Structure 1
Amino acid sequence: MTPAERQALLKTFNGEFVAITPGKGKFPATFVMGTKGGDASEQPARTVKIAGAFSMAKYEVPQNLWEAVMGKNPSRWTGPRNSVEMLSWQEAVVFCQRATLMMRAEKLIGADEEIRLPSEAEWEYCCRAGTTTAYSFGDKAQAKGDTGKKAGLLDPFGWHNGNAAGNDPPVGALKPNPWGLYDMHGYLWEFVADAWHADYKRAPADSGAWDGNKKFVSRVIRSGSWRDQYPSLRSATRLPLPDHVKSDAIGLRCVKAAVTSNDKKKVSK
């Protein structure tokens, strides 16, 4: 890949973020995270205040961008605009750090900005997009008459094991959620910054990443994937994954945001 090609991909990436401004316009200052009657890991439901403005990527990171930043495409299902997969949480963090440095060098972002993984609260806030239903489009995934894996109401918005045979489609092939974010339900599971906790009983009320016990080596994944049945694609669904594990059903989506005091230690200028 030539420097000009890399620069073009970084510029495209920089233009594919949606500005999220909590407390202004359609973006609520708080939201209810989790569920009251869902899986135990999603409880108790609680009100979370979003700390400040940030931008969420419209799409999961595509393979051509990953290759531009990391030098190699690790994916099993190849296609330049397919979501990258077969990467660990640790590698996702490195990608964000390298993308930050490259985009600063190209003056696409300022020295006070960074590319990072979303916190779990930021991710669910954006997935819900102001809704309180099981999915961003409603409470039901199956249309009248659907049985088994079929989920006609979900199909326009998400790839799952009832309408996909692999990680073949390009990012953004289906409809976005109400905030213009694509593939928030399905396609690939997405890494978030938080360490795994079995429930929300001691969860913070703010939207920062919840690290907690430093002994944890498992991280949270969100969204569901093309390998999963429709219930796993709900806005509140969450699973643990050891931070070194890779899968062809797991990728990442990035946030662009101001650097916090904690983040300054992680990314050098």
Structure 2
Amino acid sequence: MVDVRPGRVELSDRRTESTWSVELAAYRIAETPVTREQYAAIAGTDGGGEPGAALPMDSVSWDDAVRFCNRLSEWAGLTPVYRWAGETTETIAAAGGYRLPTEAEWEFACRAGTEGPRYGDLDEIAWYRGNSANRVHTVGGKRPNGWGLYDMLGNVWEWCWDIYDPAVYGDYRVLRGGGWFDEHWSCRASVRRRSHPTLRLDDVGFRVAQSVFSVGAHTG
């Protein structure tokens, strides 16, 4: 986990041509996406996808991801973040356990203080259609961003907590980062994708985050 300082990030959506600014408290975010080995150790299954302990876990739904976060919290002796009220997933505000990042946290961490579409040359930092040979790759195989975070772009899309646009898409959740099958234009810090929270896709994974309730958190 990498500590991230408080900050502000401006998000945008090309579909609606809208922008909005988000203030962020300090938080922590995982250095890499959750791997198959990590997922299997906590959830008891790796989903039966392409074998490889250090491959990012893919074909995992948003529902699977939040349940994994709770299991990981319990394993670590922390208060789980999520609870269920019927079919609705809620968060426990003061819980110190693991969770999905918000999309604002994700983009702030991805940019790592940079302002362009990417934090480096795409071939050096990401697996995408131009260099992936149409398959997922071991995490951490490309150059990290300035805060030591790997695979923020490319390899697998990553689930975020947020609902994409409830007025139009219902409870579809946000995906960020681009994946191994995507063209270069999808692997940018600002690109947003959406999917139903129950769907499992072979280019979608996730990384975990954690709230910080004490002062003094720092970047990287």
Q: TM class by shorter-chain length?
A: 0.7 to 0.9
The residue type equivalent to 1:20 in the other structure is V
Match of 1:48 among 22, 25, 40: 22
The residue type equivalent to 1:44 in the other structure is S
The residue type equivalent to 2:158 in the other structure is E
Quote the offset at 1:30 in angstroms: 1.4
TM-score (norm 1): 0.69
Q: Verify the 8 A CA contact 1:129 1:177 in the aligned structure 2.
A: yes
> Does residue 1:255 correspond to 2:200, yes or no?
no
The residue type equivalent to 1:19 in the other structure is D
Structure 1 counterpart of 2:157? 189
The residue type equivalent to 1:30 in the other structure is R
Structure 1 counterpart of 2:55? 82
Quote the offset at 1:251 in angstroms: 0.3
> Does residue 1:219 correspond to 2:173, yes or no?
yes
Structure 2 counterpart of 1:172? 140
The residue type equivalent to 2:42 in the other structure is V
Q: Verify the 8 A CA contact 1:81 1:170 in the aligned structure 2.
A: yes
Secondary structure in structure 2 of the residue aligned to 1:113: coil
CA change 1:135–1:98 in 2 (3 A) is: same
| CA offset digits 1:171-219 (Å, max 9, x no partner) | 101000111110011100000001111xxxxxxxxxxxxxx66x82211
Identity %: 31
Secondary structure in structure 2 of the residue aligned to 1:118: coil
Q: Verify the 8 A CA contact 2:135 2:181 in the aligned structure 1.
A: no
- Paired with 1:190 and 1:75, the residues of 2 have a C-alpha distance of 19
Structure 2 counterpart of 1:25? none
| CA offset digits 1:108-144 (Å, max 9, x no partner) | xxx951100000111111111112211122xxxxxxx
| CA offset digits 1:219-249 (Å, max 9, x no partner) | 1111000010010001000111011111110
The residue type equivalent to 2:176 in the other structure is R
| Pairwise CA RMSD | 2.0
Please say which structure displays the higher CA radius of gyration.
Answer: 1
- Paired with 1:70 and 1:32, the residues of 2 have a C-alpha distance of 35
- Paired with 1:59 and 1:232, the residues of 2 have a C-alpha distance of 19
Structure 2 counterpart of 1:125? 108
> Does residue 1:136 correspond to 2:119, yes or no?
yes
Aligned residues: 198
Quote the offset at 1:168 in angstroms: 4.2
Structure 1: give runs of 5+ residues left out of the alignment. 1-16, 23-28, 106-110, 138-152, 198-211, 260-269
> Does residue 1:71 correspond to 2:44, yes or no?
yes
- Paired with 1:130 and 1:250, the residues of 2 have a C-alpha distance of 25
Structure 2: give runs of 5+ residues left out of the alignment. 79-93, 214-220
Q: Verify the 8 A CA contact 1:223 1:234 in the aligned structure 2.
A: yes
Runs of 4 or more off by more than 6 Å in structure 1? none
Secondary structure in structure 2 of the residue aligned to 1:48: strand
Match of 2:96 among 106, 109, 113: 113
CA change 1:182–1:62 in 2 (3 A) is: same
> Does residue 1:235 correspond to 2:189, yes or no?
yes
- Paired with 1:258 and 1:19, the residues of 2 have a C-alpha distance of 9
Q: Verify the 8 A CA contact 2:157 2:204 in the aligned structure 1.
A: yes
